Amino acid sequence: MYKIEIINCQRILKERFGRPIVYLDHWALNDLSLNAGYKKRFVNVMNEQGGTLRLSSCNIEELINQGDTRQIDAIFEMIESIDCGFIDINFKEVIERENYLIKNPSVIENPSINLGLIHDYLMSKNWPLEWRLVDMISTVVKETSIQKQRTRGSAFADKMNWLIDFARNNHDCLKKVSKRVHQTKSEGQRYSAATRELVLMMYDLIIKNKKMKMPDTEWIDLFHLIVPVAYCDIVLIDKRWKTFVAQTGLKYPQIAKVFDCKSIDNFFNELDGDYDKNSIE
């Protein structure tokens, strides 16, 4: 839930979200919104529990590339029915904010909050008294170039594949990776969120498994994975990455409870779990 505060004659946008905090990979956002039974159950449980669905720029980018307006409308209808907010899935930027908080422990802030897009939208509308998150998302989807989104994703994948190939063919890198895998698992989570550990383990997994292919879509999945798993209560992701999370040795409440398409029933059962119901910033 968002609120606007006036501090020193300036409008300050703040977010509070209830529990459980849920994140859906884009396939899950489609599955839950297009299946009438799933949608009704999800909306009812989230509203009864006072939970928050966190959306990301990846969700928006995939909506831009999603041509079926019926599907898009179904997603909009579902997210309008529950409390929603945005999560910053750029794990590099989130870790930078975490580092700042480590050096400045008196500052209370959630490093995963992403207010920039919403702030810009509200400012462009001259700070309306009433507004809907779905209207902002719809505006972005309609006005953004599909080709631009595809180019950006491909550029990131090309860069990462080059780095992975370099590491796989460098003896010193492989030796360092093997040592780091055991060290990271044995030390576990070092700070308030497991973002760093998930990033390191993810890269090390890909480097060590030389036969593991990483097309553009797989790299996008990592944005659906790292920060949501570090900062949410429940996450729906692809089976491959659910298996990866299980291999890290990290468990709830260090990280989110993670489910895939074959464990939807377990996902719904977890929505009724015992979470701290107090809203947090």
Residue ranges per structural domain of the chain: 2-271
Amino acid at 69: T
Q: What is the mean pLDDT of residues 21-47?
A: 95
Three-state DSSP state, 220 = helix
Question: Is residue 39 pLDDT above 80, yes or no?
Answer: yes
Question: Is residue 137 pLDDT above 80, yes or no?
Answer: yes
Tokens matching residue 16: 């509070």
Backbone angles phi, psi at 131, to 5 degrees: -160, 160
* Structural contact between residues 150 and 62, judged by C-beta atoms closer than 8 angstroms: no
Tokens matching residue 34: 């297009």
* Structural contact between residues 138 and 76, judged by C-beta atoms closer than 8 angstroms: yes
Q: Where are the beta strands (DSSP E) in the chain?
A: 2-7, 10-15, 21-24, 52-55, 83-86, 234-236, 257-259
pLDDT confidence tier of residue 149, bands split at 50, 70 and 90: very low
To the nearest whole number, what is the mean pLDDT of the chain? 85
pLDDT digits (tens, 9 = 90+) for 258-267: 999 999 999 9
pTM of the shown model = 0.85
pLDDT confidence tier of residue 145, bands split at 50, 70 and 90: low
Handedness of CA 198, 201, 204, 209 (dihedral sign): negative
What percent of the chain lies above the pLDDT cut of 90? Answer: 36
Residues contacting residue 141 through CB under 8 Å, at least 6 positions apart:
60, 63, 64, 72
Amino acid at 43: V
CA 198 to each of CA 38, 86, 218, 261: distance values in angstroms, whole numbers, following the listed order: 30, 20, 16, 21
Nearest-CA neighbor of 16 among 2, 29, 5, 30?
2
> What is the DSSP code (8-state) at residue 17?
B
CA distance 84 to 80: 8
